[in-house]
Amino acid sequence: MRSPAQPNAVSDNAFMPGFRSLERELHEYSLPVEGSIPAWLSGTLLRNGPGKFEGGDARLRHWFDGLAMIRKYEFADGEVQYSNRFLRSEAYADAMAGQPTGQFATDRSGVGKLLGWLKRLGPPEPTDNANVHVARLDGEYVAQTEVPRWVQFNEDLDDSGPFAFEDDLDMDMITAHLVADPDGGHVGHGLSFGRTHEYVFFEIPDESRHRKEIASIPTDSPAYIHSIGVSESRLVLVETPLRINILRALSPFTEGFFELLDWEDDADTRFVVIDRESGETVLDQTVDPFFTFHTINAYDDGEETVLDLVAFDDATIVDALSLETLATDGFDAAPPGRFVRFRLGPDNISRRRLYDGGLELPTVRTDRQTKPYRYVYAQATDREGANGLVKIDTERETATEFWQRDLYVEEPWMVPRPDGDAADDGVVLAPALDVDTERSVLVVLDAATLAELARAPVPHHNPFGFHGRFFPE
Ligand SMILES: [Fe+2]
pLDDT, tens digit, 9 for 90 and up, residues 296-348: 999 999 999 999 999 999 999 988 888 778 777 777 778 999 999 999 999 99
Residue 397, C-beta contacts closer than 8 angstroms, at least 6 positions apart? 354, 355
Determine what percent of the chain is predicted with pLDDT higher than 70.
90
What is the pTM for the complete model shown? 0.92
User: For the chain, give me the number of helices (H) and strands (E)?
Assistant: 4, 36
Dihedral in degrees, nearest 10, Cα atoms 284, 286, 292, 293 = 20
Q: From ligand 1's centre to the CA of 120, what distance in Å?
A: 30
Q: From ligand 1's centre to the CA of 203, what distance in Å?
A: 19
Determine what percent of the chain is predicted with pLDDT higher than 90.
73
Q: Average of pLDDT values for 232-260?
A: 83
Q: From ligand 1's centre to the CA of 297, what distance in Å?
A: 13
Q: From ligand 1's centre to the CA of 344, what distance in Å?
A: 23
Q: From ligand 1's centre to the CA of 404, what distance in Å?
A: 24
Contact between residue 417 and residue 430 where contact means Cβ atoms under 8 Å apart: no
**CATH of segment(s) 20-472:** 2.130.10
Q: From ligand 1's centre to the CA of 143, what distance in Å?
A: 13
Contact between residue 312 and residue 284 where contact means Cβ atoms under 8 Å apart: no
Q: From ligand 1's centre to the CA of 177, what distance in Å?
A: 7
Q: From ligand 1's centre to the CA of 315, what distance in Å?
A: 14
Per domain, the residue ranges of the chain are 20-472
Q: From ligand 1's centre to the CA of 317, what distance in Å?
A: 13
Question: What integer pLDDT is reported at residue 34 of this predicted model?
Answer: 98
Q: From ligand 1's centre to the CA of 39, what distance in Å?
A: 31
Question: What integer pLDDT is reported at residue 244 of this predicted model?
Answer: 92
Q: From ligand 1's centre to the CA of 362, what distance in Å?
A: 9
Query: Among 200, 180, 175, 276, which residue's Cα sits nearest to residue 232?
Result: 276
Q: How many CB atoms lie within 10 A of CB 421?
A: 7
Rg (C-alpha) for the chain, rounded Å, is 21
What is the spatial distance between Cα 314 and Cα 180, in angstroms, rounded to a whole number? 28
Q: From ligand 1's centre to the CA of 419, what distance in Å?
A: 30
Higher pLDDT, 319 or 30: 30
